[in-house]
Structure 1
Amino acid sequence: MEYMLAMLRWIQTMRNPLLDHFFIGVTILGEEYFAIAVICLILWCVNKKAGYRIGFAYISSWILNFSLKEIIHLPRPFELDKRIIPLRPETATGYSFPSGHTQSLTSLVTAVMLALKKKWMYLPGILLIFLIAGSRLYLGVHTLLDVTGGALLGISWIFAANIIFDYAESTGRKAVFLIITVPMLVGMVFILTNEYYKIAGTFTGLMLGYFLDSFYIKYQVQGNIRQRFVNYILGIAVLLLIKTLVKKVLGDSLPADFLRYFLIGTWITVLAPMLFNKMWRKGSKYTQRSEQSGHTKTPPF
């Protein structure tokens, strides 16, 4: 461990304002906002099934991360060595191993690459994984062990999550998702952190939407570029409104965080798809306006 702490002290000597801003920007990609934006884009505007696959794999990876942190209880490097000065320490809550930001972005990137199967994504995706890991080292909030563990766990879990998802889809036994859901809900008794409750709320909303879509909503991505753009902007605007208003009304507490992110997950997977279905069904006033505007090109997704 000492050589890994020495590595962080050495990296600390190379800090400057330009690199500080760069790596702070990179580390933001490992947080919830970027992932939610990507998942919404794919689920609403590209491919619904890929969106659910990515959402399930990504969010369940976070559940695994929080669970392992609570089991391993490894302190942060700046807690072990007071000479290490963390940057943006507000993102370094809880225990250190495995790195949540690294596992998060690694999981997202891997899930997207496997779901969409676009070769051009591979090089940028791998680069992003190295950058997020490097950013956590540069900021002094994780060791090499933490980020390596986070990356390997992220990749490994995405393959495992895809096996679970494929089994549920091919056999119709969607109750298999209870393998993740039940332990996650039990974990809420033991892992009393805001971040865990947010993830649990989002995952519950995602699973609710997945089941309702299978039997009732049956959302399909359709329409031209303009229609998909409208879907995305409207969907994100309402999502931000829910996030802001519920927090203002209920404040900060574990139950409030669970409810707020459950509503966000429900909006993403239930209410927004129902709204988009209604907006763009054949003969609706929105469809007629779109056809009259002449924007009929369909995106090459």
Structure 2
Amino acid sequence: MIANILTADFNITIIKFLQQFSNPFLDKLAESITMTGEQYFSIGAILVIYLCINKNLGYRLGFASLFSNSINSIVKNIFKVPRPIGTSGVRSLRLETAGGYSFPSGHTQNASVLWTNLMKNIKKRWIYILGFIMIISVALSRLYLGVHRPVDVFFGFVFGVLCMFIVNGIFDCKEIKTRICGLLILIAVSLIVTIAYGDLDLYKQFGSIVGFFIGYLIEKNFIKFNEKASVTQNMIKILIAVIGYVILELGLKAVLPNLKVFAGIRYFFIILWVTVGTTYIIKKFKLYKLN
């Protein structure tokens, strides 16, 4: 019953309707928009927000994004819905971002986690408008590119919003022990998914969420860096984070065995560098506004 709904003909009808307007300009526009739903875009946004704008919002965004990725993997592996790629009459583009199963849309889920988080925590009209436009645009781009069905992007949005509310609910807890327990549950879910399905990206995500959790505890209790800074100071902070990332990525990749578990270890140290190493340097060298 559920499988029939997920692959029902109306999905393909909607994709074909959108693709009847295809032209080279819209192709490039859709490919550009869909990139804002990719993990690299989210990681960049979270890094800037965490180090330069609002670290508490950065924590909410980081945990929500990582938890959302685990949920997306669970659902995809439960339903195992094939993508519409290869369906008669459907033209599929940017296939390098269309690996694995179709339901739900990871791009739409990523965009929903990011923008609904910003809406909830910033509460500005322009954020509501921009966020709504970006989520809808990413969802439509996945349909236009022929790599997802309408039901995929709809539930990608639903799961993204649910993950946002779960993580924000944890951080809204005033009791520190309750908050820590909530975050440990997120880590446990990520561990279960990693063990159950165990692809390379899941190991990276698990290493990242553990590194983010340890970094959160260390920074909150011992470093307590100030993210408010001048434009020049912010540029230096980002440069420090990126240089450290490149060194750890290349260095650890060269010395550690080429196994999935070591990819998780690599990402653990990369995230720890951002949350502990970079923030320690920020505080040590006073890369923030003093008044």
**RMSD across aligned C-alpha pairs, in angstroms?**
2.2
Choose which of 110, 114, 119 in structure 1 pairs with 2:125: 119
d(CA) in 2 for partners of 1:251, 1:112: 39
In 2 relative to 1, CA 17–237 (structure 1 residues): closer, same or farther, beyond 3 Å?
Answer: farther
In 2 relative to 1, CA 216–6 (structure 1 residues): closer, same or farther, beyond 3 Å?
Answer: same
d(CA) in 2 for partners of 1:251, 1:21: 39
In 2 relative to 1, CA 240–86 (structure 1 residues): closer, same or farther, beyond 3 Å?
Answer: farther
d(CA) in 1 for partners of 2:255, 2:83: 34
In 2 relative to 1, CA 253–128 (structure 1 residues): closer, same or farther, beyond 3 Å?
Answer: farther
In 2 relative to 1, CA 257–9 (structure 1 residues): closer, same or farther, beyond 3 Å?
Answer: farther
> 1:190 aligns to what?
196
Choose which of 74, 92, 101 in structure 1 pairs with 2:81: 74
Offset of residue 228 of structure 1: 2.1
In 2 relative to 1, CA 104–252 (structure 1 residues): closer, same or farther, beyond 3 Å?
Answer: farther
- Segments of 5+ residues of structure 2 without an aligned counterpart are 1-7
Paired residue type of 2:70: I
CA contact (8 A) 2:70 2:193 kept: no
Paired residue type of 1:159: F
Offset of residue 245 of structure 1: 4.5
Alignment map for 1:1-301 (pairs within 5 Å): 1-78=8-85, 81-167=87-173, 170-173=174-177, 174-247=180-253, 250=256, 253-280=259-286
CA contact (8 A) 1:62 1:100 kept: yes
Offset of residue 135 of structure 1: 0.7
> 1:290 aligns to what?
none
Question: How much identity, in percent, do the aligned residues show?
Answer: 33
1:146-196, CA deviations, whole angstroms, 9 ceiling, x for partnerless residues? 0011112212221122111212xx101113311111121122111122222
Offset of residue 210 of structure 1: 0.8
d(CA) in 1 for partners of 2:260, 2:30: 30
CA contact (8 A) 1:225 1:297 kept: no
- Segments of 5+ residues of structure 1 without an aligned counterpart are 282-286, 288-295
Paired residue type of 1:58: S
| Equivalences, count | 282
Q: Which moved more, 1:6-15 or 1:266-275?
A: 6-15
d(CA) in 1 for partners of 2:181, 2:162: 23
Offset of residue 27 of structure 1: 1.0
1:110-155, CA deviations, whole angstroms, 9 ceiling, x for partnerless residues? 1122223333211111100011001100111100000011112212
Offset of residue 92 of structure 1: 1.1
CA contact (8 A) 2:206 2:264 kept: yes
